[in-house]
Amino acid sequence: MRPKRTPRTASRLEQILAEGHLAVTSECGPPRGSDGNVLETKGALLKGYVDVVNVTDNQTSMTRLCSLAASIRLKQAGLEPVLQMVTRDKNRIALQSDILGAASFDINNILCLTGDHQSFGDCKTGQNVHDLDSMQLLQVVRQMRDEGTFIGGDAISQPPAMFIGAAANPFADPFEIRVPRLAKKIAAGAEFIQTQCIYNMDKFETWMKGVRDRGLHEKTYILAGVTPFKTAGMAKYMRSRVPGIDVPDELVKRMSDTPKEKQADEGIAICLETIERLKEVEGVCGFHIMAIEWEEKVPEIVERAGLYPRPEVGEPAQAPAAAAAR
């Protein structure tokens, strides 16, 4: 068990991590329509099996129901959301405004991202904003919470009190800056990290060694990302078509060599093996299970990985930052 740390916010995720438990997070993509019940349905599948649920923000630049409204719906359905926020679509006024809006609904977690380029989505001819980048957004959320001020310096009447996260991709290029880049995100304010899906364990372990060598695993909580393959086709697609994902050939072969009707089971098996190996990596504080359009498999993965039941954490015992803010 890791040494305990003191939580600074009312976030359930932060409390679980601070108490030294392995956290389990998952994600939920909002629908491409206005039917918010979809979120409650997806949320119900995950409830009790994960600690918090990331709500994606127009992922792959496809227009969807907004992550803020979706986070509110999940919160109202009894789940704790992690509001994902990309800097692609909003300027600093809109970003700060949405942070306040989220805080007003007691959304206690935020994940700061740059976002995929709009050319991948359904608005290829649109502008992108990028007034800030993800590291600057981290600094902004931190400033709003800890200094109680807007970017412009004015005081916030009731500052937001969020647990602040960022993504890290140990597999993107250039590899030699992957550890320094994590250090930079931590310096900018990242208190937890969710990694890109891990398939290449050797490369991930090399990255984690670099992380530990600099003591970065003690300055942030690293949640290792996993995504089960549903089919061999998906493994091939992830290997060759998705930027920044590293799928070793042997995994693609293993999926391809499996009869079609058993590929889903094989994908889950690979995912469980990955989690077992990740549990042994010093500095890994939990798992971010991204079962893309396959949310119903998350409970099974959590149970079979020995991560169920989830630890109980009481109502936040007046977490210091939150208490100060309210």
Partner 1 sequence: MIVGQQKPLEEIWEMVKDRKRLLVLGCNTCVAVCHEGGSKEAGIIASLLRMKAKHEGVVMDITEGGIERQCEEEFFAPVHGAIAESDAVLSTACGIGVQFIAAFWKDKPVFPALNTTFLGGVEKEGIFSERCQACGSCVLGRTGGICPISRCAKRVLNGPCGGSVDGRCEINKDIPCAWQLIVDRLKELNQMDRYEELSPIQDWSTDRAGGPRTLEQEDLKQ
The span of 18-26, 133-141, 292-300, 310-318 binding partner 1 (CB under 8 A) equals: 133-141
183 interacts with partner 1 by CB under 8 A: yes
Q: Which of 47, 142, 184, 297 binds partner 1 (CB under 8 A)?
A: 184
Longest dimension (CA), the chain: 62
Q: Among 18-26, 41-49, 170-178, 228-236, which window interacts with partner 1 (CB under 8 A)?
A: 170-178
Quote the least distance from Cβ 4 to partner 1, whole Å. Answer: 29
Q: How far is the CB of 186 from partner 1 (least distance, A)?
A: 10
Q: What one-character-per-residue DSSP string does 66-132 give?
A: -HHHHHHHHHHTT--EEEEEESSS--HHHHHHHHHHHHHTT--EEEEE----GGGTT-TTS----SS
One of 70, 156, 167, 313 touching partner 1 (CB under 8 A): 167
Q: Which helix (H) or strand (E) holds 56?
A: none
Segment 105 to 124, residues that bind partner 1, using CB under 8 A:
114-117, 119-120
Q: How far is CA 201 from CA 17, 168, 224, 248, 258, in A?
A: 23, 15, 11, 9, 21
Q: Which two tokens stand for residue 199?
A: 């398939």
The distance of closest approach from Cβ of residue 261 to partner 1 in the complex, given in angstroms and rounded to an integer, is 33
Smallest distance from partner 1 to CB 48, Å: 31
Tokens standing for residue 178: 């992957």
| Site for partner 1 contains 88 (CB under 8 A) | yes
Residues 6+ apart with CB under 8 A from 306: none
Interface with partner 1 (CB under 8 A): 88, 92, 114-117, 119-120, 128, 130-136, 139-140, 151, 167, 169, 172-174, 176-177, 180, 183-184, 187-188, 196, 243-244
